Structure 1
Amino acid sequence: MESTVYLFDIIDCKDIGGFCNFTDFQTWYCEWKEMDMFEELCPLPSMCCVPKASKWKYFLSFFPSIKIIVYFFISFFLLLSTGILITKLAKRFVENQTRKASFATTSTEDHNKFATTLAIETWAVKTLMKLLPTVSKKELKIGQKISSGKFLVLHKSKLHDSSVCLKSMKCQNDHFNIFLNEAAILWHIRLSAHLFKTMPLHICNFNGICQLRPAQFGIVFEWMNLGSVWAFLSEQKTNSTNVGKQLDSKDLLRIAIQICAGVYQLHTLLIIHGNVSARNCLLAGDPFKPEKLIAKLADFGNSQIIPTKNAFYECWASERSVWPYKWMAPECFVTGENEKHQFSLHSDIWSFGAFLLELFSFGDEPYPNLSSADAKTLLLMDPKMNNALNFTETFIPNDVKRIIRKCFALAPKDRPKAENLIKLLQQY
């Protein structure tokens, strides 16, 4: 590594591990030095800072280009194996679903000629356990069920005396490949963190996967004690004293900056989140000390890795039964004989604008008086006039409204990048 020395006299550093008040954002690894001792400080690829002091030196370390190339190919090679696995699974899964449709007219003897969904998932879990970081079921103490949906269930659990969250599928269903994709994305984030010695501070930490049954696995995350941002805000809206001190605009702004930092961290890895919303962001900390709340981005079932920052990924609309239409940008909808959806880094920014609307309205979703299908229709008819901001009657500060409108720019390239959004939010 090479180092460039900067002398700072009045750097203002806030909580380590949180957001640091910097004018410009550095893109590589940072450390500080006092006398002859080096210590890592805020090792975040998007922003770093040093304590306020007059004689300390700040070192910005960066990778020579050859090292970047080497690390890139190592990461690409390791990721390729998981990518091939996901591709094969998707193909086999679609083939199997097609065969299942014809099973009703075939004999029981004919059924045995084809691999069942259970067989495919058993093979997939067995293969995945060889590729990704694992957590032994013996070490994991599965505890109280904290959430249950149509496809997924969450349990508060214990791993080595530390609280964690176990996310698992209820049963065999057509969301199995989505769950596999989420595990692969989390592994890629963790691998990148190890390669570049930087741990994303505003992306929910991934401990590993745990095989629960031959055809079932769970994803183990860090425990975020306050749950989703949406749930916390909804409780705050009732003015209940049981959920802590009432959040003010500055508290909401800190949450917004942290989630935007998470989006930026994903985008530096060329990962599209695909569903930035208050339900998919988690909170931790003391609810009676809102100035110290930690917010992190979670739920990567819709996420995808792209080859370049201007690329997008495309999928059939029929691949999933539920889409987050109210958080999707107009260009995501590709109409035609077979409807498709397209996602990009730019569409994540639109979704972040919808998240800001949720945040500052204490949990009101975009287009509150419209169904998801009606919101989609409006976006297709006149996205410029009928964006989510025009349909909310909730008070939102004017400065925040201006930022949301920038996120809702009709042309994708006119929307600000995540790092620029952090600066805009910082100025508010």
Structure 2
Amino acid sequence: MESDQEEEEVYMNRETEELVKVSQLLKTQNVDELLKADRKEIKETERGISWYHEILPRDAAEDLLKQGLVKFGNIDGLFLVRKSSTSSSEYVLSLVAEGKFFHFQINELKRMQFSIDDGPAIVGLDCLIQKYMEMPLGLPCKLTQFCKQYPPPHIARRRGTTNLLHNAVLQNIPENVEKILNSKFHPDIDAKSSSGSTALHLACEYGMEEIATILIKHGANVSILDYHLRTPVHVCCATNKAGLIPILVNDGHATLTDRCPTSGWLPIHEAAFKGHAECLMILLNFHSPYYPRADDGKTPLDIARSYDKTECVSILENFDSPGIKTKKSDWFHPELDRSGAQCLLESHGCKTGMFIIRNSRKISCHVISVCHQQKVYNYEIKSTHYDGKLVYFIDKGPYYKSLEHLVHCYSKYSHGMQCILTMSVNPAGEIIPLQEEDDYTNLAEAHELAVNMNDDYSPALPPRPSSLSDDTADQYAPSRSSREIINAKPDALKLRTSHPPSAPPPPVPSQPPPSKLPSQKSVEPACPPSPIAEPETDLRKIDKKCLKIGKEIGQGEFGSVVKGEYKKQEGRKTIKIDVAIKLFHKDSINNKNDFLKEARTMQQLKHECIVNFLGICESDKHDLMLVEEFIAMGSMLDFIIDCQDQIHVPNDLYLWAAQIAYGMMYLEEQKLVHRDLAARNILLQSKQRAKISDFGLSRALGSNSDYYKASTGGRWPIKWYAPECVNYGQFSHASDVWSFGVTLWEMFSFGEPPYGEMKGIEVIQYIESGKRLERPEKCPPKVYEIMNNCWKKDAKERPTFKYLNQHFEEDNEYASTKDTMKSVRKKK
């Protein structure tokens, strides 16, 4: 078996002989005739690898194999390779052995690296099939004859057949290349030569700038890999052809972040390894990341030092990304949580490329929330020390010296994110563009910004499901991958402590225990007497002089949410309390009297597992300001997604489930329907205390009715709704029980979106067909049994919250919660 180097020398010698021959022919013969003859010769040469078929169903593949058996006889190893009908990047090997048909998925592990099942990873689809023609390697037999169709696609091949275009490029006569490409008989511009190079790779290797421009103009692929798994930009950096890099980037929109599949090297690694300082500088000027990490973790600086490339070392050590105009105040929101970020971005249109950065609960970590196609994705920004400096990075992406550097470079390249960054929302609610629109034409990952209508939230639903379309009945929370932000409030920003401004005030009027409030040593300005002392039948009003409004931490359909400070008088002491304040826009409340009446109902609620509603404040600027307790740990959903390693399973989940059931039993006793029970609306005061929040859709029940019928618009969380809510707009304690079952499912699936990527109408059809959410992997059977009981189609067959509370209180399965729950019940 020849080595790769020996093989390459053989192929190059053949190409040299052909070059002389073609040079003479182009001068004397018609180009069209030459190309037709060249095409015929290539077809004949590649007959031996014409085993590839386009998308072909399994039964059609077996029919072809049956015909092959007739033609070749009943031989083992008859095969064909077809395009996978389920993946654009994978293939299927269909094989006959011992009279049986077999179908094996060919997986592309990395670009141009293929394997069959657990077999070896082999570079090139052509080389993979050749290997299995030599030995079976786990197949029923080795491959022998094939059903003939086409040679494999050039993008998946390691080698090809040298054609007239390859030889014309090597002549370095631009008019000949142009003449060939203008002919209707020209070869595929991305075809690979016998040495594994495309025409563009050859032009880059030999520094043919004019020819490269011609090839790009005719559509040459600037990202295709050659025999050595290099893009054309990699080739330029390896051969020190710096002048070609701007052509590839500006004219071909080549990306500088394509990696070599076997090493993880970017072009800048190649330049540092070779010591090509001019290429290095051009890459940096085109916003290549300066500290990207290869598969072994090495940066270009590490490589330049290892090979004593002193000039490259100096450039990389002293590099400071030019032209950074973005600043932290444009996008940093230290007070926001996951749901708050989601709703802030949605309230500004959720346009592709829009983003904000916020703090994470984890030490030395931030989170960037990025919009793409009306969904919000969440990525951790971690920090570490590299080369004596603090650097920031996302996943396995490059290191950056500051958050500003990171934002700047992710506005040029996506590095694995869904899109590049294009605009931010600052704390004042202003949209800040990151770069001028005409800059995009010169950036490697330039693309048109998609501004799509948001179909992830559904408007008010018609009364019957038969009239729902995918658009109007869609769920309001999009699906989430492991890094996506889901399940945020559709109509308002929910923060770690707060509730959407569209919501009526959440319950519980009790003030925080004085022992937990900081005392004031200095003399504070006198405040009016605490509104807590007013009779329970009167609506609690807080004097605006007692409120200090802080930073905005959320925006919604009806107003905004801010973190604030409430100064209240306790005897002779003035005590400060952190609060969440909802600021309602003028005229945002249709019927103020009805709203105040509902607020009076809310303030009567007093329970250890329900968020405290402190009172209402009126001002000239806002019709109403609702004041609620501030709960710093934030939503349970965020915690179970971000801090799963801090959760004791199942004990913590059992405790929270018991406390939710306990709080909902209290609402059931008060004849109050929540209507929006979900993990996102459970706040954690501590790991030992969960509190129900967000009564945005709640309505106090009349004494003679047992359900509330929706009569006005609004956005509905379909995935948490019982069938009768969707079909008839009827909400009851039984429909809250259904939502409780979904909330349990969220908890034990650690924040996965219910029903995955199903649309709202698909969820409705799924439920009506009798199907239910499957048991999460770590969910105990007894808890899943509760979920299924909550999801009974007949509302009368579902358990009550009184029964559920008793279940968590008495069943031995939840023994770990009993002591904590006893203390909670005593406080009540």
TM-score by length of 1: 0.57
Is the contact between residue 152 and residue 167 of structure 1 (CA under 8 Å) also seen in structure 2? yes
Quick check: which one's strand share is greater?
A: 1
Counterpart contact for 2:552–2:560, Cα < 8 Å = yes
- Please list, as runs of the form range in 1=range in 2, the aligned pairs for 1:174-185 lying within 5 A after superposition: 176-177=589-590, 184-185=597-598
From 211, 219, 243, the equivalent of 2:618 is 211
Could you tell me which residue of structure 1 aligns to residue 796 of structure 2? 413
Q: Which runs of 5+ in 1 are unaligned?
A: 1-129, 194-198, 240-244, 335-339
Aligned twin of 1:169: 584
1:376-423 per-position Cα deviation (integer Å, ceiling 9, x unaligned): 3433x42x32x3x23x65532211101111111111111111121122
Structure 1 partner of 2:753:
365
User: What is the deviation of 1:189?
Assistant: 3.6
1:346–1:133 Cα change, 3 Å: same
Higher helix share: 1
Cross-structure match for 1:262:
663
Could you tell me whether the CA contact under 8 Å between 1:310 and 1:345 is conserved in 2? no
Name the amino acid aligned to 2:729.
H
Amino acid at match of 1:267: E
**Residues 1:320 and 2:727 aligned together:** no
Alignment of 1:287-302 (within 5 A): 290=687, 293-302=688-697
Verify the 8 A CA contact 1:203 1:262 in the aligned structure 2.
yes
In the aligned structure 1, how far is the partner of 2:578 from the partner of 2:657? 25
Which stretch of structure 1 is more off in the superposition, 250-259 or 212-221? 212-221
Match of 2:549 among 142, 153, 156: 142
Q: 1:142 to 1:357 in 2, by over 3 A?
A: same
Classify 1:423/1:230 alpha carbon distance in 2 versus 1 (closer, same or farther; 3 Å): same
CA shift in 2, pair 1:203/1:357, >3 Å: same
Contact kept, 8 Å, 2:554 with 2:560, in 1: the verdict is yes
Specify the SS of the correspondent of 1:209: strand
Cα distance, 1:325–1:228 mapped onto 2, change above 3 Å: same
Check conservation: 1:182, 1:303, Cα contact below 8 A.
no
- What is residue 55 of structure 1 aligned with on the other side? none
Instruction: Please name the residue that 2:806 is paired with.
Output: 423
Output the CA distance in 2 between the equivalents of 1:309 and 1:257. Answer: 30
2:55 corresponds in structure 1 to none
Specify the alignment match of 1:271 in structure 2. 672
- Contact 2:745-2:776 at 8 Å conserved across structures: no
Residues 166, 235 of structure 1: CA spacing in aligned structure 2 closer, same or farther, 3 A cutoff?
same
Alignment of 1:21-420 (within 5 A): 132-160=539-567, 161-169=576-584, 173=588, 176-177=589-590, 184-191=597-604, 199-213=606-620, 215-237=622-644, 239=645, 245-285=646-686, 290=687, 293-308=688-703, 311-316=706-711, 319-334=712-727, 340-379=728-767, 381-382=768-769, 384-385=770-771, 387=772, 389-390=773-774, 394-420=777-803
Aligned partner of 1:142: which letter? I
Q: Secondary structure at the match of 2:805?
A: helix
User: Is the Cα–Cα contact under 8 Å of residues 586 and 621 in structure 2 kept in the other structure?
Assistant: no
Show CA shifts across 1:213-236 (max 9, x none): 355312111111111111222212
Deviation at 1:144, TM superposition (A): 2.6
Counterpart of 2:795, as a letter, is P
Aligned residue for 1:44?
none
What RMSD in Å do the two structures reach over aligned CA positions? 2.6
Amino acid at match of 1:313: Y
User: Unaligned stretches of 5+ in structure 2?
Assistant: 1-536, 568-575, 814-828
- Structure 1 residues 133 and 222: alpha-carbon distance in aligned structure 2, compared to 1, 3 A threshold: same
Q: Distance in 1 between matches of 2:622 and 2:750?
A: 40
Which residue type is aligned with residue 577 of structure 2?
S
Give a deviation string over 1:344-363, Cα, whole Å, max 9, x none: 11111001111111111122
CA contact (8 A) 1:283 1:295 kept: yes
Superposed displacement of residue 147, structure 1: 2.9
| Distance 1:407-1:187 versus aligned 2 partners, 3 A rule | same
CA distance in 1, matches of 2:586, 2:766: 35
Q: Which has the larger radius of gyration?
A: 2
SS at the partner of 1:216? Answer: coil
Q: Deviations over 1:139-195 (max 9, x none)?
A: 00111323334444322211121111112335655xx3499867644421433x5xx
SS across alignment from 2:647: coil
Give the match's secondary structure for 1:333.
helix
The separation in 2 between residues aligned to 1:178 and 1:283, in whole angstroms, is 32
**1:40-98 Cα shifts (integer Å, max 9, x gaps):** xxxxxxxxxxxxxxxxxxxxxxxxxxxxxxxxxxxxxxxxxxxxxxxxxxxxxxxxxxx
Q: Which moved more, 1:208-217 or 1:349-358?
A: 208-217
> What is the number of equivalent residue pairs in this alignment?
267
Q: Is the 8 A contact 1:187 1:206 kept in 2?
A: no
Q: Distance in 2 between matches of 1:269 and 1:309?
A: 13
Query: Helix, strand or coil for the counterpart of 1:405?
Result: helix
* Moved beyond 6 Å, runs of 4+: 178-182
**Paired letter, 2:766:** L
What secondary structure, in the 3-state scheme, does the structure 2 residue paired with 1:396 have? coil
Offset of residue 308 of structure 1: 4.8
CA contact (8 A) 1:357 1:365 kept: no
Whole-angstrom CA distance in 1 between matches of 2:638 and 2:739 = 18
Amino acid at match of 2:706: A
Partners of 2:737 and 2:800 within 8 A in 1: yes
Confirm or deny: 8 A CA contact 1:181 1:301 kept in the other structure. no
Does the 8 A contact of 2:674 with 2:699 survive in 1?
yes
**What per-residue deviation string (whole Å, max 9, x for no partner) do you get for residues 214-267 of structure 1?**
553121111111111112222124x5xxxxx33421111111111111111111
The residue type equivalent to 1:190 in the other structure is Q
- Answer whether contact 1:260 1:421 (CA < 8 A) is retained: yes
Distance 1:152 1:215 in 2: 9
Q: 1:326 to 1:213 in 2, by over 3 A?
A: farther
Contact 1:168 1:218 in 2 (8 A): yes
